[in-house]
Amino acid sequence: MIIWLNGTFGAGKTTTARELTSRIPGSRLFDTEKIGEMLGHVLGPPRRDFQDWRPWRGLAVETARQLLDDVGGTLVIPQTVLRETYWQELSTGLAEAGIPVRHFLLHTDQETLLHRIRTDTAPESAGARQWRLDHLPAYRDALPWLRREAETLDTTGTPPSRVADTVITRLGRPGR
């Protein structure tokens, strides 16, 4: 099984993913951005986003399939996907591989989101701050299809531990 955490940058995907993997037995964090980084070594920097590379989408599906075949359990993927066609390609590939996916949209109000992005103190955040802010319009444009395709969880004022509780409850699974 895959638990896919979608949402814009700063919605709490990575922190919630860490909470989930610490509480769901047999689960692992699968950061599909690492596939994009690997492809960057081969293809050079992307024009806009590594997700625009068709190999990224295919490798995300195939890597997930092979990981689950090898180790089983649950993969938790904290990955923003804002293009509906890309999501359809990913979800179709995973379905064809026989992998069930629960797709959650972590959403927060604009004020909270801006505060989280501007006050993120992680070392890698300083360079990414403007990039995250620049992608907010694409997120707003994607909201209609995201709300249709994913289970929306409001993370405004909700700590990641409670967001993880909600995901676990919706999955009908016991946590640790």
**What is the per-residue pLDDT across 42-55, written as a single tens digit (0 to 9) for each?**
998 887 889 988 99
Nearest CA-CA partner of 164 in 104, 96, 93: 104
Q: How would CATH label the architecture of 2-171?
A: 3-Layer(aba) Sandwich (3.40)
Nearest CA-CA partner of 34 in 59, 62, 65, 13: 59
Q: Where are the domains of the chain?
A: 2-171
Summarize pLDDT for 112-171 with one digit per residue, the tens.
888 888 887 765 656 677 778 887 889 999 999 999 999 999 999 899 999 999 999 999
pTM above 0.75? yes
Q: From the CA atom positions of the chain, what is the Rg in Å?
A: 16
Nearest CA-CA partner of 31 in 8, 64, 58: 64
